[in-house]
Amino acid sequence: MQHLKCVYRSFAIPVPLFDHLKDFQRTYEKAHAIKITNNQALSIILGEHQRQQMARVGG
């Protein structure tokens, strides 16, 4: 994913969703023994969601 062009936007999310993002980030970092940014964590979550959606519709 690091070779794709990026879009930079500033946005706000509710605190409980940010807490969920940070929990995911920390779990991912421990599981893969690497450090990732909030942007990378969100990209992973959105990518997983996209793959799940495509699998549901047979894409």
pLDDT of 58: 83
pLDDT surpassing 70 at residue 59: no
CA distances from 13 to 1, 10, 20, 49, 50 (A): 23, 10, 11, 17, 19
pLDDT surpassing 60 at residue 1: no
Give the pLDDT confidence of 19-51 residue by residue, as tens digits: 999 999 999 999 999 999 999 999 999 999 999
